Structure 1
Amino acid sequence: MVSQDHEDTRERIDEREISRRNYLATAIAGTAGLTALAGCSNSSSDSNGDSKAKDKKAKVPEGVPKTVETKYWHDWSNIDAEKPPLQYTAMAGAALDPIPVEYSSEDDPWMREHALMFKRAAKGIGVSAKLNDRPLNQLYAQSWNTPGLQAVISMSTHGPDPQRGLDPNPLLMRRHKDNPSNYDNYFHPKLNELLSKQREVTGDNKKRQQLVSEAQRIFAEDVGAIIGIFPDVITAVNRKKWNGYVKTPGNGPTGDSFQWSEVNLQPQTGEKTYVKGVTTSMNSLNLPWAAGGAEEKRLKFIYDGLFDATPNLDVVPALATNAKYTDDTTVELDLRKGVKWHDGKPFTAEDVKFTVDLYKKHSSTSQVSFYEPIKSTEVLGTHKVRFNLKYPDAAFMTQRVVRSVIIPKHKWESVDNPAQHNPQQPIGTGPFTFKNWDQGSRFEVEKNDDHWMFKDGWRKKHLGDQAATGPGLEGVIWVNVGNVDSMLGALQQGKIHAIGGTLSNSQADRAAGTGGIEKVVSENFAPLDAKLMFSCPLIRDKEFRVAFAKAVDKKGFVKDVLQGRATIPTGENPISPLTPWNTDDTKDYGHDVDGARTILKKAGYTWDSNDNLQFPNGKAWKAFVERVQNENTHKRREELGQADFS
């Protein structure tokens, strides 16, 4: 990634970045000089440095605890830990400790500014925010784990995997109590019930849509997270050398989650191998047991799934040409005939059965969403299979079959430990065959001429006006350039043909200053999600959640930093308007810092002489303790009949 010092130097000579600089300057100035606030953890002190002073301030009604700690408030089926990794304690009358906020500047070019927006929002209501910029792989490994987040707020942009646009479950089901990806320990009983119901509705999209819409309304009204924006995907490509880039939502024309550009591109010069510059490298050639990220996406160029997704988010045939439910838990699939593995062996139903059985037996890490609901697989013929599901699964014929990856039985059946296997020559049926891999620097594949995606008619049917005709490219190379500055230089010098990732507006504009290089923008169905840690007593207070949501200036961020390149959802709704599952009649609390302060004041929060927000005290503290209990954490003060403490 580009260092901030270098970025700031470039900004001083780029007039297009004036608004962004003003945003940064305002955010930094607004948070400069904040003292370490007193209050909430056992080791902190008050603004005078006297920890005993807090005890004198506290006015606790009889029978009410003086402190409320971060803890597991429910029995979690997926959590074995005794307590959450976050330590944050609420104390009657004490000033709030700084709120830990985690992000990764590797996630998007403007994530630092987004984090500063949250810091400024917190300051607006009298709270200090402590920002922690972590390496992206560390954020995944240590923060987004089953026991829960390590920070009060942890933000990230969801990846553009097709499954997130095809079905609401990849985003909504994270808020289900039994989901292992429920990193924020969020549990809303009514929402949980709706999510359980909708995921089993098969064959009746209208009924399912009603349930999914109600789930969105509940989540947004409850402020289950801060869903800031759906950021546009911005990148830069060389159109002088290549024609046929496909503007795919979420992925853009150069991402790795879809292969439509690569099978559609037509060379305009003598160069026939397409080179993408990237900043992330692959760790192995084992797709089914990949840890996610670069290796999983790029290796899918070699393998096929049962179905695919178009840029319009339609499910289309891949290795399976047809599928039907024979009852709520039985699916029969017709498989494509005449398909061969890259080594010439025929693809059959036996490969599908073997694949599912192997994934289940050895717990494939990257394929859980595909095989998890499958109880057993039956071979009904050379090119026909039956899946017997454990339960009715509404997402099986969208999210799961598109997510699937089928591997060759004849190559994997002799592997003793699939999780530790690293194939020297990955064999698939996909549109590209493996050529070479230099770990950390280069990955190369070659065109599979026999693949259906290289047929002009196939692409015309599914790409419409974006389809290009011709012989196509001969291969694709991913080159790890190291950082964005180097990547932009390589693009301008013609050493690479496209940026295989996202850029900021200014970065893409600078690249487009060179002949033949163009900025390309696509819309996105993957939200930027600021997760809130619901085991934390502060977050459990809905009055605080609503106030904080009102303090976040999403529109200002999109205007000043992203120059309008994003979609702002109606309230805290993770389901994009690009998908048919979105409902726009969700609660939107709007941006109003004064209104946020009024909410906190009525809930009994106070401010000291330095404008530091303090937890409620006396009778207001008793009301706070009542609001954070399991039966009340999703209710407003008025619903509980609590007084106006202002």
Structure 2
Amino acid sequence: MVNMRQRFLFKLFLVVGFLSLGGFNAFAKPALQEGSEISTLQFIIPTASYDPIRYEAGLLLTQAWEELGLSVEVTGMDFQALSQRLNSPPNDDFHAFISGYVSRPERLDPDVLLNRPFTCPGVDTGVNYQGYCSEEYDALIEAQRTTMDEALRQDLVYQTQQKLAEDLPAIALYHVTEVTAYNNTLFENPTPMMGQGLFNIWNLLSMTPITDQRMLAMGKAGDIDTVNLFAPVTGGANTDILRLIYDMLGRVRPDGTVEPWAAESWEVIDDTTVQVNVRQGMTFHDGEPVTAEDVKYSYDIQKAEGAAIYAPFLDPIEEVEQVDDYTLIFHLSQPYPALFQATFSQILIVPKHIWENVDGVLAEAQVDNPIGSGPFSWGGWQRGEVLTLMAYKDHFQAPEIDSFSSVVYATPDALFQGLVSGDVQMPDRRLLPTQIEELEQYDYLTRIEEQDFGVYYVGFNLRIPPFDDPAFRQAIAHTIDYDTIVNTLLDGYAVPGAGFIAPANAAWHDPDLTFPSFDLEAARQILTDAGYSWDDSGRLLFPAE
């Protein structure tokens, strides 16, 4: 039987029949002039094989934009190609894109999602894909980063969300409900985590074998591209694996709080001084001890040569002072309330005795056997097939399992079939709505449901017309059909986009935020009032001088 979602997609494909899918197509740079016809919009979206929901949302937006009189050329890209494209300045050959920030523990702190994707310095480093630059917004971000007054910080964070809602460099489309599953005949004692489902460190530590099978296999849609932690980060997949191999001073718990990890404890001396006591007895996977010297080296070298995305979380650190073998003093240039959740839980501790002997640029180093001190040590990697980690039994919180493998699947559907067949015991991601319905057939698969604080969004390139015009963006904001996205594409397993701080992150989400409703007539009126017009064929024209 054909369900409502299938009928909707069939109609959508009839309307949007000109898609260019697959690899990256070189776009002709737009030559847009006032009073002229708006040239074809170049719209980058994920492929259907990588993320069918975002792909279908892109088709839905394309249909609405065409109804406004715009011509749209859609290019589908897989995750790595899309990430690399958006990270390649000067970024003047596309108009809009669909992307997302999945839930990660450190992203519970609002600075992570509100800072680097939207502040002016990110325009030059490539992480501010929209090219949005506002002195007022940057001042608000800096203010919330430097106050230790929690009530004042919350008010400032609310103001930053309101500023984004006014300027609309990007618009949240939806926040999903995370539904996943695991094989209950082979493993027990799962630990789901808000926004991360079962692919989180706490679950990999707690999952306990029921039978003689002591390897936990996870299905993953797509592979990582490097295990060199200094390499430019194109996405979170690399980081997910690296955080199993390496330790950090702190880890975010399943309830969202931060606890000392490689740090035995920490103490706030004053607003700009924090003492860290490094856990004693830890060793790297090669047997060498982990000391304060390694921690200092890790922070110093990553501040100097680390991936650009971590720069905002290291910038407030003026100096890391080593007091003795297991004591450090972090001196901050200013108060920084996100130090524990956004910095201590992200910066990986590396062995100084290995990395100080690497010649040349660290980001270009060939890393075949990463050595950390984390709960898992390196096992091996067959690119595009499987990556294996071994439980490090000398760790202070060693896993119950003996090993962990990440098995690569080409599509989410193939991954789900691997879960059903028993080839893997859990997926790395949420299940699709059609898969959730099918899940009920298998009593050996236990369903897990958690709220998600990630965001999936459409971003606009403010560097070039027409998205450099605030009125045009306001009109486009009325083309998002939230009801169809949430209730048809996602079968109700989501909530409408409500800004970049999701409602599930209740401590920091501004509940008073409002966004334009789906209303194409309102969009046309805004364009008309701003001086836009339409030619005899219905194509939208720029305002005349």
Q: TM-score, normalised by structure 2?
A: 0.90
2:186 corresponds in structure 1 to 241
Q: Using the TM superposition, give the Cα deviation of residue 491 of structure 1 relative to its aligned residue in structure 2, in angstroms.
A: 2.2
Q: Of 140, 150, 158, which aligns to 2:93?
A: 150
Q: SS at the partner of 2:52?
A: coil
CA distance in 2 between counterparts of 1:239 and 1:109 reads: 28
Counterpart of 1:183, as a letter, is: Y
The 5 Å alignment of 1:261-272 reads 261-272=203-214
- Structure 1 residues 442, 419: closer, same or farther in 2, change over 3 A? same
Q: Using the TM superposition, give the Cα deviation of residue 479 of structure 1 relative to its aligned residue in structure 2, in angstroms.
A: 1.8
1:95 corresponds in structure 2 to 37
Counterpart of 1:532, as a letter, is: F
* Contact 1:433–1:446 under 8 Å retained in 2: yes
The 5 Å alignment of 1:91-170 reads 91-105=33-47, 107-148=50-91, 150-170=93-113
Q: SS at the partner of 1:410?
A: helix
Structure 1 residues 414-423 or 560-569, which shifts more? 414-423
RMSD between aligned alpha carbons? 2.5
Q: SS at the partner of 2:259?
A: strand
- Structure 1 residues 587, 295: closer, same or farther in 2, change over 3 A? closer
Determine if the alignment matches structure 1 residue 337 to structure 2 residue 265: no
Q: SS at the partner of 1:140?
A: helix
Q: Which has the higher strand share?
A: 2
Structure 1 residues 182-191 or 307-316, which shifts more? 182-191
Q: SS at the partner of 1:29?
A: helix
CA distance in 2 between counterparts of 1:562 and 1:116 reads: 14
Give CA-to-partner distance per residue, 1:577-600, whole Å, 9 cap, x none.
222111121232222222222222
1:445 corresponds in structure 2 to 389
* Contact 1:126–1:611 under 8 Å retained in 2: yes
- Structure 1 residues 332, 107: closer, same or farther in 2, change over 3 A? farther
The 5 Å alignment of 1:483-498 reads 483-498=411-426
CA distance in 1 between counterparts of 2:71 and 2:179 reads: 32
Counterpart of 1:546, as a letter, is: Q
5+ long unaligned stretches in structure 2: 20-26
Q: Using the TM superposition, give the Cα deviation of residue 511 of structure 1 relative to its aligned residue in structure 2, in angstroms.
A: 5.1
2:23 corresponds in structure 1 to none
2:197 corresponds in structure 1 to 252
Give CA-to-partner distance per residue, 1:439-497, whole Å, 9 cap, x none.
3322222223343445xxxxxxxxxxxxxxxx832221112233334333332222221
CA distance in 2 between counterparts of 1:284 and 1:97 reads: 38
Q: Using the TM superposition, give the Cα deviation of residue 527 of structure 1 relative to its aligned residue in structure 2, in angstroms.
A: 0.7
- Structure 1 residues 232, 150: closer, same or farther in 2, change over 3 A? farther
* Contact 2:230–2:306 under 8 Å retained in 1: no
2:144 corresponds in structure 1 to 198
Determine if the alignment matches structure 1 residue 26 to structure 2 residue 39: no
* Contact 1:185–1:533 under 8 Å retained in 2: yes
Determine if the alignment matches structure 1 residue 517 to structure 2 residue 448: no
* Contact 1:235–1:503 under 8 Å retained in 2: yes
1:354 corresponds in structure 2 to 297
Q: SS at the partner of 2:466?
A: helix
Counterpart of 1:20, as a letter, is: R
Q: SS at the partner of 2:244?
A: coil
2:269 corresponds in structure 1 to 326
- Structure 1 residues 86, 329: closer, same or farther in 2, change over 3 A? farther
Q: Of 567, 584, 601, which aligns to 2:528?
A: 601
1:480 corresponds in structure 2 to 408
Q: Of 554, 562, 574, which aligns to 2:482?
A: 554
CA distance in 2 between counterparts of 1:421 and 1:544 reads: 45
- Structure 1 residues 396, 141: closer, same or farther in 2, change over 3 A? same
- Structure 1 residues 207, 505: closer, same or farther in 2, change over 3 A? same
Q: Of 148, 156, 159, which aligns to 1:211?
A: 156
CA distance in 2 between counterparts of 1:268 and 1:598 reads: 63
- Structure 1 residues 425, 540: closer, same or farther in 2, change over 3 A? closer
The 5 Å alignment of 1:349-388 reads 349-364=292-307, 367-388=310-331
Q: TM-score, normalised by structure 1?
A: 0.77
CA distance in 1 between counterparts of 2:429 and 2:181 reads: 9
5+ long unaligned stretches in structure 1: 1-12, 35-84, 455-470, 623-646
- State which structure, 1 or 2, has the greater radius of gyration over its C-alpha atoms: 1
Structure 1 residues 259-268 or 517-526, which shifts more? 517-526
Give CA-to-partner distance per residue, 1:8-44, whole Å, 9 cap, x none.
xxxxx5x5xx22222223323344599xxxxxxxxxx
Determine if the alignment matches structure 1 residue 585 to structure 2 residue 512: yes
Give CA-to-partner distance per residue, 1:310-343, whole Å, 9 cap, x none.
1221111111133334344332212212222233
Give CA-to-partner distance per residue, 1:365-419, whole Å, 9 cap, x none.
5754543433322111221101223444332222111111001223333222333
* Contact 2:111–2:141 under 8 Å retained in 1: no
Q: Using the TM superposition, give the Cα deviation of residue 518 of structure 1 relative to its aligned residue in structure 2, in angstroms.
A: 4.0
1:465 corresponds in structure 2 to none
CA distance in 1 between counterparts of 2:532 and 2:335 reads: 47
Q: Using the TM superposition, give the Cα deviation of residue 118 of structure 1 relative to its aligned residue in structure 2, in angstroms.
A: 1.0
The 5 Å alignment of 1:273-284 reads 273-284=215-226
Structure 1 residues 353-362 or 309-318, which shifts more? 353-362
CA distance in 2 between counterparts of 1:375 and 1:92 reads: 48
Structure 1 residues 495-504 or 555-564, which shifts more? 495-504
CA distance in 2 between counterparts of 1:187 and 1:218 reads: 12
CA distance in 2 between counterparts of 1:389 and 1:355 reads: 16
CA distance in 1 between counterparts of 2:116 and 2:478 reads: 25
* Contact 2:92–2:464 under 8 Å retained in 1: no
CA distance in 2 between counterparts of 1:593 and 1:512 reads: 39
CA distance in 2 between counterparts of 1:266 and 1:33 reads: 50
Counterpart of 1:565, as a letter, is: Y
Q: Using the TM superposition, give the Cα deviation of residue 298 of structure 1 relative to its aligned residue in structure 2, in angstroms.
A: 0.9
Determine if the alignment matches structure 1 residue 286 to structure 2 residue 286: no
* Contact 1:289–1:366 under 8 Å retained in 2: no
* Contact 1:101–1:132 under 8 Å retained in 2: yes
Number of residue pairs the alignment of both structures matches:
531
Q: SS at the partner of 1:194?
A: helix
- Structure 1 residues 313, 113: closer, same or farther in 2, change over 3 A? same
Determine if the alignment matches structure 1 residue 568 to structure 2 residue 496: yes
Counterpart of 1:354, as a letter, is: Y
Counterpart of 1:302, as a letter, is: I
Give CA-to-partner distance per residue, 1:89-139, whole Å, 9 cap, x none.
443443322221101125523222010121122123222221110232122
CA distance in 2 between counterparts of 1:545 and 1:293 reads: 29
